[in-house]
Amino acid sequence: MEWREFGYFWGMNEETEKARQSRKAAMEAQAALRRERAAEKLRENLSRRKQQVRARRSGQADETDGLPAAKTAAAKMDES
């Protein structure tokens, strides 16, 4: 028995090899899409943070959707 016949016997033929390569290509494509989405989210986050810094420098209030912005040092001193 040749090694090719032995491999075929255990289910390793050209069709399963093509299917494996196809699955590998699909997984790589999904990974690339995940990386693209993550990069886009990081760019959005960076843009949002830069906008917050610019607003703080110009004295404008933060626009928060969730928890309120941290109190400034002056506001803390007024409370005491």
| Predicted pLDDT at 19 | 87
Alpha-carbon Rg for the chain in angstroms = 28
Count H helices, E strands: the chain?
3, 0
| Predicted pLDDT at 34 | 97
pLDDT in tens, the chain (80 residues): 455 555 555 556 777 888 888 999 999 999 999 999 999 999 999 999 999 988 888 876 656 665 555 555 555 555 65
CA dihedral sign, ordered 39, 44, 45, 51 = positive
Tokens of 74: 């002056």
